[in-house]
Structure formats: C-alpha cells, structure tokens
Amino acid sequence: MAIIGNPKYADRIALHLSKYPDKRSAVMPLLYIAQEEYGWVNDDAVNEVAQIIEIDPTQVRSIAGFYTMYSEKPKGKYWLQVCTDLACALRGADEFHHELLHELHIEEGGTTEDGMFTAEHVMCLGACDRAPMLQCNFHMVEKPGGLTMDDMRLFIEKARSGDADLQALIAEWRNLVNEHLKTFE
C-alpha cells in the first residue's frame, strides 16, 4: 500500500497539487487520499504526504492531529458517524445511535470484529431536517424523514455483500432526498 506511485491516486494527487501555487497547501486533500488508502493517518501516510509536498513529517502530523476528520487510529472499512447534536437528538438520533451500536455489537468508537464498521457520534453534520442521519466515509447517508434501523440493517447487509450494492443504495436514498428538497422550491 502506498499513495506515491500508485496509479489509483496519481490523477487525484496531480489535480490537488495543480490547484495551489504552493504545493504545501495541498496537505489536507492529500491526507484524505492517504487516509483512504491506509484506513487512517499512520506514519507511512504522514511520511508520504510530507514527501509529496516537501515539508517535514512533523508539520503534516500536526495538521492531521488538529482536525477531527483525520483518524490517528485504525477504523473499519466503513466509518459511520451519527450526528447526535441537540437538533438531531430531538428527532431520535441518540436512540438511533445506540441501536446502531447494539446492531453492530460494538461500543462507542468501536470497530466490528470483521473490521467492516466503526461507529461513533459526532456533532452537526448539517442535515438536522433529515435526522437521524449519518456520514459514511465522509459521504452523507440520509433519507427524508430520517434513517431507521431497518434502513441500517439493509445498509450493513449491502456493505458486507459488496461496494456496488452499497453505492447503489446510497444513490437511491440521495435521489429521495433530492426529490424531497424539490418540494420546497
């Protein structure tokens, strides 16, 4: 595993580097790429990003440590972040979060034994009107009226059966959200 020299990431790295007059400014998007490859921001990820943008790894590590969107410990393949702030809690997010942890047989911030899912609560994902909702690997997972545990059981089943099925399900739900939002235009 590596991002340097990996054809899977070459175009994305080049794109991010081209956006900035000083390549050091690409540190955050490159950290996302590294986290995608390694599943977390480990020493290899830090060193590779530092090498690409020609700065000291300590500078990269300090940026990764400051922002909560970068994980400094291993996560499951699917990092589920359930919004449980006050507005979402009033729409059932706390109960939904606890039921999800129970369904996955993990504690807060834990990872399933098969390494597929890590679940934790976060504050404000900006979709209070669609709570309960969550973010999976930084992609919103939501439905008009909020997600249910039946939705999550289907999500978990599709995730375990393969990415294509899961992406199709998320796209279907996103289309429902977009149709729902059109009613407010």
pTM of the model: 0.75
Give the whole-angstrom CA distance, residue 113 versus residue 124: 28
Q: What is the pLDDT of residue 179?
A: 78
Domain spans in the chain, listed from the N-terminal domain onward: 7-66, 78-182
Q: What is the pLDDT of residues 126-170, one digit of tens each?
A: 888 889 999 988 888 888 889 999 989 988 888 888 766 667 777
7-66 is classed CATH 1.10.10.1590: yes
* pLDDT < 50 regions, the chain: none
Contact 149, 103 (CB under 8 A): yes
Q: In whole numbers, what is the pLDDT of the chain averaged over residues?
A: 89
Q: What are phi and psi of 158, to 5 degrees?
A: -70, -35
Answer whether the bond into residue 132 is a cis peptide, omega within 30°. Answer: yes
Q: List the structure tokens of 15.
A: 């794109």
* CATH number of the 78-182 domain: 3.40.30.10
